[in-house]
Amino acid sequence: MAEKSTREVSMTASRNAPETTPEDRAATRPEGRTAAAPRLSRLSRAQWLREQLENAIVDGHFAPGDRLDPVALARDYACSRTPIREALQQLEASGMVRVYPKRGTFVTQLGVADLIERFDVMAELEGMCARLAARRITQEELAGLRQAHESCRDCLDGSDADRYYHANGTFHHLIYAASHNAFLTQEATRLHAILKPYRRLQLHVHHRLQESFAEHEAILEAIERHDANAARRAIQQHVQLQGNRFNDLMATMPQLREDPLA
């Protein structure tokens, strides 16, 4: 009954300091034709919580299938259930969690079929990013991408999977940004975040880091040559390989089952 799959979630004391006042950009548009034109945006508690919870999920503090108890979270974040609930609603719309009415909110647990679907879409989106990036990347962005690539190499030497994982995320995100399509960047980032908990599992597969790095090199090279087709194909293959490898991994780990509540 009290299985790990529905373990309680508390992460006490890891969160505090609600004093962060993240004021955003001031008005980039001094007059918007109406006095009611929205100007600056301080994000509310609920939105701040959404970011926190999203990071907690992506970083593995909550595993797929975990229940997110609103009262425990309210206790941990020293607020009431209301903003917690709103944050969870938003996360559900992003696909990070799943709300089962009257039964609770759970971190999205994807089955093999779900993951294949998402990796396919991820490959297509990243392919688009790479294609556009090959055409539109600036010198500064290219330099940053090279630097991120070198960071990956550094982590490679020590076989530090976690650090490599982080540098890898930076590398990919820089490609998204280099597409110069903000919406595409946003969507790719969101999907990347959803898949992150699952990608983590395949980190420790033998020699995977080296292979990944080699694939990165091919991608970077194609982008440097501004070869849109090659860049697209290279990154699509890269992502699809991740998906396939994960699929293999799942086949050997039957305890990772499908969504039990579905």
**Residues near its own copies, by CB under 8 A:** 3, 5-6, 25, 28-29, 32-39, 41-44, 46-47, 67, 82, 85-86, 89-94, 98, 100-104, 106, 114, 117-118, 120-121, 124-125, 128, 181-184, 187, 257, 259-262
DSSP 57-91: HHTTSS-TT-B--HHHHHHHTTS-HHHHHHHHHHH
Q: How near is the Cβ of 37 to DNA at its closest, in Å?
A: 8
Q: State which residue, 141 or 259, has the beta carbon closest to its own copies.
A: 259
Q: State which residue, 85 or 153, has the beta carbon closest to its own copies.
A: 85
Other residues' Cβ atoms within 10 Å of the Cβ of residue 257: 13
Structure tokens at 156: 């490679």
Q: How near is the Cβ of 59 to its own copies at its closest, in Å?
A: 20
One-letter amino acid of 115 = L
Q: Give φ, ψ of 251 to 5 degrees.
A: -60, -25
One-letter amino acid of 106 = F
Structure tokens at 195: 């898949």
Q: How near is the Cβ of 81 to DNA at its closest, in Å?
A: 5
Q: State which residue, 104 or 169, has the beta carbon closest to DNA.
A: 104
Q: Binding partner of residue 106 among DNA, its own copies, none, CB under 5 to 8 Å per kind?
A: its own copies
Query: Long-range contact list for 85-94, CB < 8 A, 24+ apart?
Result: 86/46, 86/49, 86/50, 87/46, 87/47, 87/49, 87/50, 87/52, 87/53, 88/53, 90/46, 90/47, 90/50, 91/50, 91/53, 91/54, 91/57, 94/54, 94/190, 94/194
Q: How near is the Cβ of 255 to DNA at its closest, in Å?
A: 21
Q: State which residue, 103 or 206, has the beta carbon closest to DNA.
A: 103
Q: How near is the Cβ of 224 to DNA at its closest, in Å?
A: 44
Q: Binding partner of residue 52 among DNA, its own copies, none, CB under 5 to 8 Å per kind?
A: none
Beta bridge partners of 97: 107
Q: Binding partner of residue 183 among its own copies, DNA, none, CB under 5 to 8 Å per kind?
A: its own copies
Q: How near is the Cβ of 241 to its own copies at its closest, in Å?
A: 18
Q: Which has the closest alpha carbon to 246: 190, 211, 195?
A: 195
> Which residues contact DNA by CB under 7 A?
1, 23, 35-36, 39, 42, 44-46, 67, 69-71, 78-83, 85-86, 99, 101-105
Q: State which residue, 74 or 156, has the beta carbon closest to its own copies.
A: 74
Q: State which residue, 18 or 214, has the beta carbon closest to its own copies.
A: 18
